[in-house]
Structure 1
């Protein structure tokens, strides 16, 4: 029975939901690249939010844990750490099972076990596997290893890791390969009992060729855009040449990132020694490389970076200079005045004692002398402007018109980010001491800390209008800087 005409005939309401805005990139995530085999080449990296997770996975003796311990010891503590795998040597292919049958009585009842599996591209048919005498699951794995050899596959072995059966190739490198275990044509199928079938096993991990640290950095950048900083935490430190190759890549990489290293060689304290990592990185002018000297801790730079990565750019008065900061877990250096001067000249940072009983980080600079906080803050500023202008286009239900009103909307988004940069302390009012543009002249005072200019739409060329290109938006920003030194004169009158 009809209840009447639809109200939509008179009042038609439609709801349009804007798409979720693209998030800004994080500038507080460090990636520790280590050589422990806890993480395989397929997984490549893991994310942690506390030291307990790292300890559970790596143990307290691993270099990844030791570096992470310093990172999470900072106060305030950074929120996120990524630990990644550097494939230092050729690796084997691995097939790791799950949910295996662990009841030995079930295994002891099998005298004709069988399964098929592909090893290094060659099919292997395991048969007549007798588990009647197996006294443990490790012994069960031993029978399977014998079966692999009997099937012409001495190039793979099976082991019990305490929880699962794991098959590993003897061959290493990119040609090493394992497929899932499958049911045989005859005999008692053990592919499912071992948990090595496709229905149960983890994805087979292929073999990988050894890579240089630079190749590792490239791979990690391709794998994840989440991390911003990169430090190697390995059993044996990578060489200076290897690190400089990484630094060269980071310098050119997009999106922008930084890398860090610790010098433990005390020869860096000598002005006569000029082949140290700090001097070489300075000569190359690397603005995305931060180096610290520590005589006792090969991961000291991780502490300094961790302090910087605790900055919340969305807060008020949150930006900082790394000078004067502390490094929990890192022993401060006792240096001569001349040695401290040498480190400053080489743009090598250090956590150092002062005669008043305090210890501080100094000078908080990159290899080329730029201050760390300026590089860090400007990278955030660039991404914040890019993301917010993108979201203007992305979330608009109609369009941003190619008119003065449309350009004004773009400039408003930029100004909003700059206002946030004023709030967090990156930008501050001051005198513009560079070339002018628009109505800005050298020597003008920027009361807001920034100036935004764009030429008139009417002055655009026809070709630009037809390509729907907005007039260039030019910005001037005045960095707030930080006070690192002060002279105080005291005049005394008797």
Structure 2
């Protein structure tokens, strides 16, 4: 019997919070058996990790943000961060951070998350070689910041990840406690080419230089995909568990379709799903009736007949404007 009764799969066609969907976990190397603890305040975390530790400093950058999450988790590992990621993958976190900023652990974590289709890892690097080591990885956020004892990765996750998914693009946003850098065109072009993110001054304002993952996909798009998956699984699971039973006919199928539609409508309200020209949500949903599904699925009480697609709302990151002067 599967532990999960409802599974949503989403494929992205080109071109074209739930609590926990912004929660961070800090993976920390520590001698002994691995562990996982959650902290709601920095003072509580301080009892286990003193102020001089990298774990405390990452957590302090998270808790300093105005949009900080309700909980910061810490997962420990002795030798293998990959083993710890596998052990604690199903805990209620969505963004992983790495306390020691060591390249070997960053590469291992990025490789692990690259093979998943849910959650993220954020790493902070100091130079071109650091960016190159984790380049082109799915679901990896790479922050280029070389100022000692400043944690742009933790500050950004702390300030942006727990905002309503779909409501923001990550580019242009500010964070607390991080020094913006004045980079020249060559420097910022190199960072952009590697799909990394710096904290820079543009138009007189401190802001994130981009909002992309290491493989070039936009953070808000993939985070929105995760939200739709999680929210729809919850809605359909609720429909299944709240009813005495859902008959395998139009009544049960309509209930599942209604639950899925609720998620898509909410996704539109949050800013994940685009609007049509007449202001309507840009999604379609299709539910096969009882006679259209495989009889074997009816025997096994499995319904595979629901499908949907939606237009991604995206965001505008650049503008090119022309003007003229009359003499």
TM-score (norm 2): 0.87
The 2-side partners of 1:372 and 1:71 are apart by 18
1:84-483 superposed matches below 5 A: 84-87=75-78, 211-221=79-89, 225-234=91-100, 237-239=101-103, 241-253=104-116, 256-265=118-127, 268=128, 276-282=129-135, 285-297=136-148, 299-313=151-165, 319-354=167-202, 356-397=203-244, 399-430=245-276, 447-483=280-316
Counterpart residue number, 1:63: 54
Question: Greater helix percent: which structure?
Answer: 2
Q: Distance in 1 between matches of 2:279 and 2:132?
A: 37
Give yes or no for contact 2:67–2:160 (8 Å, CA) kept in 1.
Answer: no
Q: Is residue 228–residue 263 contact of structure 2 (8 Å, CA) maintained in 1?
A: yes
Match of 1:79 in 2: 70
Secondary structure at the aligned position of 1:430 is classed as coil
Give the gaps of 5 or more residues in structure 1. Answer: 1-22, 88-210, 269-275, 432-444
- Give the superposition deviation at 1:261: 0.7
CA deviation string 1:179-217 (max 9, x = no partner): xxxxxxxxxxxxxxxxxxxxxxxxxxxxxxxx2222222
8 Å CA contact 1:403, 1:457 repeated in 2: yes
CA distance in 2, matches of 1:460, 1:83: 45
Secondary structure at 1:58 match in 2: coil
**Residues 456 and 471 in structure 1, CA contact (< 8 A), matched pair in contact too:** no
Q: Cα distance 1:85–1:463, how it changes in 2: closer, same or farther (>3 A)?
A: closer
Secondary structure at the aligned position of 1:476 is classed as strand
| CA distance, structure 1, for counterparts of residue 111 and residue 258 of structure 2 | 36
Q: Deviations over 1:40-59 (max 9, x none)?
A: 636x1221122222234322
Which consecutive segments of 4 or more residues in structure 1 shift more than 6 A? none
Instruction: Give the deviation of 1:446 after TM superposition.
Output: 8.8
Match of residue 4 from structure 2: none
* Cα pair 2:37 2:74 within 8 Å, conserved: yes
What CA RMSD, in Å, does the superposition of the two structures yield over aligned residues? 2.3
Q: Given the superposition, is the C-alpha separation of residues 452 and 348 from structure 1 closer, same or farther in structure 2, using an over 3 Å criterion? A: same
Deviation at 1:253, TM superposition (A): 3.9
The 3-state SS of whatever aligns with 2:308 is: strand
Contact 1:58 1:65 in 2 (8 A): yes
> Separation in 2 of the partners of 1:401 and 1:446?
35
Is the 2:30–2:76 Cα contact (8 Å) retained in structure 1? yes
Offset of residue 485 of structure 1: 0.7
Provide closer, same or farther for how the CA distance between residues 392 and 65 of structure 1 changes in structure 2, counting only shifts above 3 A: same
Q: What count of residue pairs does the alignment treat as equivalent? A: 310
Give distance in 1, aligned partners of 2:42 and 2:152: 17
| Deviation at residue 227 of structure 1 after TM alignment | 1.3
| 1:227-280 deviation line (CA, Å, top 9, x unaligned) | 11111113xx423x43222212122347x2211111113xx1xxxxxxx24334
Q: 1:24 to 1:341 in 2, by over 3 A?
A: closer
- Give the 3 Å change call, closer, same or farther, for CA 456–231 of structure 1 in structure 2: same
Q: How has the CA–CA distance of structure 1 residues 53 and 471 changed in structure 2, closer, same or farther, with 3 Å as cutoff?
A: closer
Which entry has the higher C-alpha Rg, 1 or 2? 1
- 8 Å CA contact retained: 1:36, 1:62: no
Cα distance, 1:423 vs structure 2: 1.3
